[in-house]
């Protein structure tokens, strides 16, 4: 089969499997087979750029960068919905509609708590995705939306030539929690809730980061130019047949209702059941089903008269603010926490709630001793959402954010553009010291058996340790002298420290707790540089040239290694016998590929591309993605793209075929 036909065939098959997996929840092939087909398509597309398709299934992995999002005017304004929390108001609305249209059928749907999106299709292909913005115009975030696997890039069956469909992009709880866990590990501020996170994610410039976040989408509104039925529910069903993820009656996400009682039953069902949904909803939307009736009812200036939303009350209680504690994290980030008069909320007793940062405290205009409203939303930690100002007396002073670290009295800093305050006293501030050591010994880092967070706390307060390197100076005598330690526990702990000397370099690098350097980034850096000395020698430009290392991480690394205290600490760890080099690179100090920057292109006879790349790294070379003047060699297999060849020739970069490459490395 010629490559063009194979590319087409793979695209059709992958679109189909994608639909079965992400929309119908009924996979038709194994993940392995899917990945293999995707890989094959990626390789072919690399070789034959002339068959580029912006809607190829390969765009799901992202990679497109949007420098700034273009503003796009909406063809139809993006209106909001009237809403109520109140049964009587809802009943009034229902009666008004029934009076105007006695035969009317209502449709009840979930009110997804996410980010509204309008997506345009032309001839079955996704062409543009735009945010709500101010309702009249929004941001073009097409690149990012293309990475969301439940949004079809290519439609099936019958569809209108050109039309728009709207819906909501949501971040499921599992993805939200995993992301926040990862951020906590990296010492980064957490996202407040899935909606904020979804909205922030969609505004990221790098779509490959968007692709990894696990966004999902439900479509619930077909605009007039795309209507293929007489009713809203008919349109939604038709949209489902085109391949969209739409609410389906069998999930009870959409239901036809005739009476107030039926609508009320649907709302009550979901007010309870929403706790079991994998994403947030904040109410129920009730719509008039017939388009004809919708037209008769029309719009007010802001919203349609043919639909309304019944919003769920977030579980909220009032309680007294007793005090505020300022917590200092391992990276020095300051988090204000409200200590509350204990109160029962959503199945647990709440004593503390997050106040996030100074801006949040100012926004609430919080005064000491205030009666505050505490709410439990999608997030696990409850938060203070408001103040009962009517109950406030004149002798309650306004809450002033602290200016000094509560632990070490160092003056706090707040970087421009950041919401969080930091304590800059990294080396001596006790929670930062303990936090850093606790991170160092943790399971994913040095995994030191026989030692826990309390032990670290104790050793720090007893003055035995002040940095990770001090751990390796601990002696049997010093520890056994402390209360609560027996012979067995001390020998276990010392053995645990001894064993940690075998932990590989990438985990040691993660264990150092450099801001933004989580486990994945540490792996990449270790693999790329091979040793701490090579990493320390790298400047910002070299660092940010590494795949997946952005300027933020690069700057952070440079400033970390510019701090003499950090360098001293690393030297002490080296002396203690900790691994600061990758094992396999130890041997390479010479050879034809040492420090060579190599671009691999095409397919090879004697090995796969990945095997070839691994071989290059093993021999001390580095794989780079694109050809530049700095490239040492291009290793070209069968079917290298013509544009790559041209570029290499223009820049005078030697092109090696498979045989020449093998000869060079002496195989």
Nearer to ligand IVH, 309 or 635 (CB): 309
Q: Which of 111, 245, 527, 597 is catalytic?
A: 111
Rounded to a whole number of angstroms, the distance between the first and last alpha carbons of the chain is 33
Nearer to ligand IVH, 56 or 235 (CB): 235
Shortest approach of ligand IVH to residue 261 CB, angstroms? 21
β-sheet with 125-131: strand ranges across: 125-131, 115-122, 162-170, 216-222
For ligand IVH, the binding residues (CB under 6 A) are: 79-81, 109-112, 116, 168, 220-221, 285, 304, 307, 309
Judge whether 618 counts as a catalytic residue. no
Shortest approach of ligand IVH to residue 258 CB, angstroms? 19
Shortest approach of ligand IVH to residue 220 CB, angstroms? 4
CB 192 within 8 A of CB 356: yes
Shortest approach of ligand IVH to residue 662 CB, angstroms? 58
Nearer to ligand IVH, 164 or 426 (CB): 164
> Which H or E run includes 528?
helix 519-529
Radius of gyration of the chain (CA): 30
Shortest approach of ligand IVH to residue 239 CB, angstroms? 13
Q: How many CB atoms lie within 10 A of CB 174?
A: 11
Nearer to ligand IVH, 270 or 440 (CB): 270
Using CB positions, name the residue nearest to ligand IVH: 116
CB 445 within 8 A of CB 467: no
Distance CA 133, CA 135 (A): 5
Nearer to ligand IVH, 303 or 427 (CB): 303
- Own/partner long-range contacts of 412-421 (Cβ < 8 Å, ≥24 apart): 412/334, 414/358, 419/189, 419/356, 419/357, 419/358, 419/359, 420/189, 420/333, 420/334, 420/335, 420/357, 421/333, 421/334, 421/357, 421/358
> Which H or E run includes 181?
helix 173-185
Tokens 């092939």 correspond to 29
Distance CA 82, CA 533 (A): 62
Nearer to ligand IVH, 79 or 656 (CB): 79
Shortest approach of ligand IVH to residue 645 CB, angstroms? 49
Shortest approach of ligand IVH to residue 166 CB, angstroms? 7
Q: Is 545 exposed, middle or buried (0-12, 13-18, 19+ CB in 10 A)?
A: middle
**Cα distances (angstroms) measured from residue 519 to each of 183, 469, 599:** 11, 20, 26
Nearer to ligand IVH, 305 or 316 (CB): 305
Q: Is 233 exposed, middle or buried (0-12, 13-18, 19+ CB in 10 A)?
A: buried
Residues annotated as part of the active site: 111
């Amino acid at each position: 089969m010629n490559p063009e036909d194979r590319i087409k065939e793979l695209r059709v098959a992958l679109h189909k499997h994608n639909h079965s997996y992400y929309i119908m929840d009924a996979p038709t092939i194994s993940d392995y087979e899917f990945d293999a087909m995707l890989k094959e398509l990626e390789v072919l597309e690399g070789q034959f750029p002339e068959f580029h398709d912006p809607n190829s299934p390969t765009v799901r992995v992202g990679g497109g960068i949007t420098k700034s999002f273009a503003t796009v005017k909406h063809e139809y304004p993006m209106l909001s919905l009237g809403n109520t929390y109140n049964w009587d108001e809802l009943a009034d609305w229902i009666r008004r509609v029934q009076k105007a249209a006695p035969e009317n059928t209502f449709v009840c749907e979930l009110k997804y708590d996410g980010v509204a999106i309008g997506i345009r299709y032309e001839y079955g292909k996704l062409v543009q995705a735009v945010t709500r913005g101010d309702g009249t115009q929004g941001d073009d975030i097409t690149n990012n939306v293309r990475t969301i696997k439940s949004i079809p890039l290519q439609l099936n069956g019958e569809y209108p030539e050109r039309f728009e469909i709207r819906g909501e992009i949501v971040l499921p709880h599992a993805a939200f929690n995993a992301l926040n866990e990862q951020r906590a590990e990296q010492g980064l501020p957490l996202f407040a809730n899935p909606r904020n996170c979804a909205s922030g994610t969609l505004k990221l410039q790098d779509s490959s980061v968007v692709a990894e976040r696990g966004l999902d989408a439900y479509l619930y509104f077909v605009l007039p130019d795309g209507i293929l039925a007489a009713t809203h529910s008919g349109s939604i069903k038709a949209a489902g047949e085109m391949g969209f993820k739409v609410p389906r009656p069998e999930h009870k996400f959409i239901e036809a209702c005739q009476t107030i009682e039926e609508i009320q039953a649907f709302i009550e069902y979901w007010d309870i059941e929403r706790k079991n949904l994998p994403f947030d909803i904040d109410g129920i939307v009730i719509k008039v089903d017939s388009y004809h009736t919708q037209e008769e009812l029309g719009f007010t200036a802001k919203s349609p008269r043919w639909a309304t939303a019944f919003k769920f009350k977030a579980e909220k209680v009032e309680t007294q603010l007793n005090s505020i504690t300022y917590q200092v994290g391992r990276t020095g980030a300051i988090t204000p926490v409200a200590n509350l008069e204990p109160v029962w909320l959503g199945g647990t007793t709440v004593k503390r709630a997050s106040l996030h940062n100074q801006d949040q405290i100012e926004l609430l205009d919080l005064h000491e001793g205030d009666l505050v409203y505490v709410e439990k939303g999608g997030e696990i930690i409850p938060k203070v959402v408001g103040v009962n100002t009517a109950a406030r007396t004149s002798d309650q002073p306004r809450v002033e954010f602290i200016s000094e670290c509560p632990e070490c009295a160092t003056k706090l800093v707040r970087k421009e553009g950041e919401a969080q305050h930091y304590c800059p006293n990294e080396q001596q501030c006790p929670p930062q010291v303990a936090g850093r050591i606790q991170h160092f010994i943790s399971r994913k880092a040095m995994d030191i058996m026989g030692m826990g967070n309390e032990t670290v706390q104790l050793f720090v307060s007893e003055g035995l340790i002040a940095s990770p390197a001090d751990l390796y100076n601990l002696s049997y005598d010093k520890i056994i002298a402390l209360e609560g330690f027996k012979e067995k526990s001390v020998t276990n702990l010392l053995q645990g420290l001894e064993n940690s000397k075998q932990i590989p370099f990438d985990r040691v690098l993660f264990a150092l707790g450099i801001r933004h350097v989580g486990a994945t980034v540490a792996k990449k850096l270790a693999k790329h540089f091979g040793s701490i000395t090579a990493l320390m020698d790298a400047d910002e430009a070299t660092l940010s040239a590494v795949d997946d290392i952005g300027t933020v991480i690069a700057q952070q690394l440079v400033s970390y290694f510019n701090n003499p205290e950090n360098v001293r600490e690393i030297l002490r760890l080296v002396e203690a016998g900790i691994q600061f080099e990758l094992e396999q690179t130890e041997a390479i100090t010479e050879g034809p590929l040492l420090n060579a920057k190599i671009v691999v292109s095409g397919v090879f006879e004697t090995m796969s591309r990945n095997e070839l790349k691994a071989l290059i790294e093993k021999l001390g070379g580095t794989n780079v993605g694109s050809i530049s003047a700095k490239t040492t060699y291009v290793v070209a297999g069968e079917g290298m793209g013509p544009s790559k060849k041209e570029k290499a020739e223009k820049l005078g970069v030697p092109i090696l075929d498979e045989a020449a490459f093998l000869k060079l490395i002496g195989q």
